[in-house]
Structure 1
């Protein structure tokens, strides 16, 4: 027997040794990769003289990264191309380069750019304009220009287009799917309770088309966007806004007249300067740069020229970026109340933080979650720490509820804000069950026990109670805004009604204080905190991360896999969808709404389909 077992024991030792060697090699490989990444991160790039600043953004514009730092580090190790372009990093690099004698010109390569909202694009466009006004030329290139791409390209001195490309401008729209007919066919009824004439978030479930009120609301901010876009493009190209509008309105006919040669059409319309391939463009840049052109990517330039934080006092910038939901576990791309409140309360007790700026880009969401975050903002103010809001593309509904608690509100002209209204949705699947031959029967201890179940029609008394509570929440919302904005209830109620306003209109209605962006908000926060220039630093805080320390390996692994110890399957699906790049769009927001609606939820949410 021992003779038979001896070879097996020998094989076991061999396999055990091979397993150890394999695991050691894998571990060594990971450690080497981490060491290389750390070494690369600590290298301080240098800026050559007479250099070309290369701006080639990959992905879409964001105010804050949706992924944590360790996720981004893992992506870099795996050579995963970036899909988010941090606006403040891009604009800061451009602005420093504008006054840097070592930078001669800029190339703006938009071939892998995925755009952003008009509000985001205009921030970058203004930085490009400042660079150009500093006397430094910009050379722009794309195989084809989308509407968003072209807003940036229009700020360049020299705009190149591939011979087979086009400049595609068609205006702005807000189209979304309506599910009423489908739900009727499936036997699913949606009970909708809302307060606010324009609160249209329930319409996709209760109608088959956009209501007249929603059309009125959306038309107003869409026209603001379109007029702002055409004015910016016209200024960059030294054309009239009417010419840009005519091009967009007549593009199909103009294309036919040009025999389908869209590149030549764009040149004849004054939208581009040169038609050529990438090789043609590169030769032109090389000629402009000189005999031995050097180049530096804007991210490397930012790393080489960014000044280290100064001063013991700090202004903390907190991202309120994404849909607002309740919970205790961070969700990539969303604002979860528990971690956000913890982040704000930490600043409350941090003696180095003298003021807080909320960088808001959110359509709102759960009323309860918004209320929790708003209360944390008020605690900061009660402690004597000023809070200023810088609105991005969206600061609507629940996000505006939070914002109205701050001392000063800044919005861009094209920001979509306010949307002061509340709604609740309760589904009824009894019709669908009936079609499948499923009956629901039972008994309860009271007349209303179990009647909120989606398995049966909603009890009319409970429906009346739900509407009463929605009305109460609306009055409370209006009253909170009235107190925060120092307006009468009647003034806010007249501007509310669930209507989203442009930043320009919100300023007229006194729902915001100033038109401006992050620089103006930071300067105001410093003034309110009595901080002198040069005596403070700005701390841009990341979104809360499930694993916020290197030692929390379980948290990082859970985040990477899209799960966590206390997450439900829906949360896991959202995280997985985020890893796959499916972190935007109405479907994801609908999933987040459903996550918060257990057994039913109340929402202050604006269903705006932000055009790109």
Structure 2
């Protein structure tokens, strides 16, 4: 009797749930349909605030409930920002652009790409003004493109040159008995250097100095051109921190005037010759200006590979061979897709996943031309998947190269001994087993080293074949060394310096087509279970709590350490987390 009663209750509960879900979705659909469209009014000024984290590609969440209830976090993507500025060039309703951003949530290469597009906007004769209370160095670099730069009278500019800091853990390991067992190939492959020593190696210092100077030279050249201040003088200003207050910044010609925000608003009104309507970048994109309209039949597929490379499916934040290879196959089989641009923004990761993606690209290259566009970073495994393209285009400030391999395994033998833990093993064979609680034995080390050497040799051969170079020539510039895009052009690792749009145009040229439209891949579709388990407000709440508890800098370190759980197998990864300040 109890069984029958429970069965009836379960059935009723099921139908009640279906009934409630039906009305929920109906309400959601009604809410979705009631959104007022964004209209770009006449005499508008486009407000550029780039404080939010910017990805190369940020597709809209396809969870319908999240969309309708507006739970999806607003995400800025580089492609939409570039498209919006491109559309604003010819939009008669847009009189000019106001740059007013607290921070710049883009990497250096992304920032340079946005700045270059703003340069194009200025060529139309429309104005660009910039205002801030405090300019960070990257923010000032972006804002220096403006016709006029304004600063709060009690504000300041951070203009000190570039620097980078790396933490070393050898003393910590010795003190607490928790260490990383390391096997690597490449004298510049310093991803694992902090576990082996407590000071920076000569080779690592050499490569960091080299790419920082290369990036800084790009920054100075762009600022020099816009502000009409020589590179030599800009370096002197940086040495002496001449942007430390509004007075010194104006005397140094880093700004035009020191004024308050109300005075800045009056200048905007004067520049527009009428009281302007202000429209945010996000709203301008929502109005449809985040894409370039085209009815062309031919397509160029842009496949975005962003994040660390992991073995598996992957998602919007991690490159997995599952989703990426599916996108490559889809573009290859589409008869209207005439060429493919692989946009790489990755420090690398799993060597196995990199090889699987490389293979899919190799198969595709026999049918359609492939051009790689490099973003902020396309290094190690990121370069591995780029190496066999017909052509490679990088931004001057792209971080690339790092052709090297390593394996790192945690070991707590000394720590376990210190706290009285002893591990005993029993095995059926005398194989090269590894235990977290025992020192790495020579047999295991030798086999791991052999695997690292094999993958390094494969990696170098992939690059040599793709770049039409000898093994010896690639090996000379490999060894895990990091290069900027500007340096990589000189040593043959890339073919051209330019933007994603330049890469698209080059792909169209290789495909011998003139009229085309761009189609973005991949599609990150979730099944119903995934959608329910990944509501945006749950994700954002988790991030908010962690950021408030840890602070922004510690939260970044937490993400770095947390991502180590994805490091399975031998890694082709960037030598370290680059945080340029």
Q: Is the TM value for this pair above 0.5?
A: yes
The answer to whether structure 1 residue 297 and structure 2 residue 292 are counterparts is no
What is the CA distance between 1:524 and its match in structure 2? 1.4
Aligned to 1:143: 133
Which of 92, 98, 109 does residue 119 from structure 1 map onto? 109
Specify the alignment match of 1:386 in structure 2.
Answer: 369
Of residues 325, 338, 358, the one that matches 2:322 is 338
Cα offsets for 1:499-519 (capped at 9, x unmatched): 111112211111111111111
Cα deviation code 1:101-142 (max 9, x no counterpart): 43222211213x433222111111112222223222212111
In structure 1, what is the Cα distance between the partners aligned to 2:50 and 2:456? 42
Q: Map of 1:164-183 to 2, 5 A cutoff?
A: 164-183=154-173
- Report how far residue 63 of structure 1 moved: 0.9
* 1:559 corresponds to: 534
Post-superposition CA distance 1:563-605 (Å, at most 9, x none): 9xxxxxxxxx9996599678984543443343332xx534343
Q: Is the 8 A contact 1:332 1:578 kept in 2?
A: no
Paired residue secondary structure (1:405): coil
1:76 Cα deviation after fit: 8.3
Post-superposition shift, 1:362? 0.5
Superposed displacement of residue 38, structure 1: 4.2
Partner of 1:53: 46
Evaluate the alpha carbon distance shift between residue 352 and residue 586 of structure 1 in structure 2; reply closer, same or farther with a 3 A threshold: farther
Aligned to 1:74: 66
Q: Distance in 1 between matches of 2:22 and 2:141?
A: 48
Query: What displacement does 1:243 show?
Result: 2.3
Q: How does 1:478-497 map to 2 (within 5 A)?
A: 478-497=460-479
Whole-Å separation in 2 of the counterparts to 1:130 and 1:405: 32
Match of 1:258 in 2: none
Q: TM-score if structure 1 supplies the norm length? A: 0.84
Matched residues in 1 for 2:483 and 2:253: separation? Answer: 34
Contact 1:546/1:556 (<8 A) preserved:
no
Which residue of the partner structure matches residue 98 of structure 1? Answer: 89
* Aligned residue in 1 for 2:380: 397
Measured against aligned partners, the alpha-carbon deviations of 1:434-457 in whole angstroms (never above 9, x if no partner) come to 1110111132122235x3121211
Task: Work out the CA distance in 1 between the residues paired with 2:545 and 2:389.
Answer: 34
Cα gap change, 1:225/1:307 in structure 2, threshold over 3 Å: closer, same or farther? closer
Structure 2 distance, partners of 1:92, 1:202, is 40
Cα distance in structure 1, aligned partners of 2:71 and 2:266? 29
Q: 1:526 to 1:513 in 2, by over 3 A?
A: same
Aligned-residue offset at 1:465: 1.6
Distance 1:387 1:361, change over 3 A: same
User: For residues 405 and 473 of structure 1, what CA distance do their matches in structure 2 show?
Assistant: 16
Alignment partner of 1:311 is 2:300: no
Cross-structure match for 1:12: none
Determine if contact 2:328/2:360 at 8 Å carries over to the other structure: yes
Superposed displacement of residue 562, structure 1: 11
CA offset digits 1:20-79 (Å, max 9, x no partner) = 89x96x9867754553344437x3x444333322223341332112x7523698388457
Look up the match of 2:194. 204
Q: How far does residue 199 in structure 1 lie from its aligned partner after superposition?
A: 0.7
Q: 1:87 to 1:174 in 2, by over 3 A?
A: same
Note if contact 1:54-1:295 (Cα within 8 Å) is conserved in structure 2.
Answer: yes
Aligned-pair distance for 1:304? 4.5
CA distance in 1, matches of 2:156, 2:565: 41
1:233 matched to 2:223? The reply is yes
CA distance in 2, matches of 1:70, 1:28: 20
Show the counterpart of 1:408.
Answer: 391
Q: Secondary structure at the match of 2:487?
A: helix
Task: Report deviation, 1:379.
Answer: 1.5
Moved more, 511-520 or 340-349: 340-349
Q: 1:38 to 1:161 in 2, by over 3 A?
A: farther
- In structure 2, stretches of 5+ residues that fail to align are 1-11
Equivalent pairs, count: 562
Matches within 5 A, 1:438-453: 438-448=421-431, 451-453=433-435
Residue in structure 2 matching 1:526, options 508, 520, 523: 508
Residue 62 (structure 1) aligned to one of 22, 35, 55 = 55
Contact conserved, 1:128 with 1:152, CA < 8 A, in 2?
A: no
**Which of the numbers 453, 463, 481 marks the counterpart of 1:499?**
481
What is the alpha-carbon distance in structure 2 between the residues aligned to residue 405 and residue 119 of structure 1?
22
Task: Tell me the SS of whatever aligns to 2:157.
Answer: coil
- Tell me the equivalent position of 2:235: 245
The aligned residue for residue 7 of structure 1 is none
**Distance of 1:80 and 1:357 partners within structure 2:** 28
Secondary structure at the residue paired with 2:392?
strand
Cα deviation for residue 606 of structure 1 reads 3.4
Give the counterpart of 1:605 among 568, 571, 574: 574
Whether 2:280 is the aligned partner of 1:280: answer no
Paired with 2:458 and 2:540, the residues of 1 have a C-alpha distance of 31
Q: Secondary structure at the match of 2:167?
A: coil
In the alignment, what sits opposite 2:457? 475
Determine whether 1:424 maps to 2:407: yes
Contact 1:562 1:579 in 2 (8 A): no
Q: Residue 595 of structure 1 corresponds to which residue in structure 2?
A: 566
Cα distance in 2 between the residues matched to 1:337 and 1:110: 36
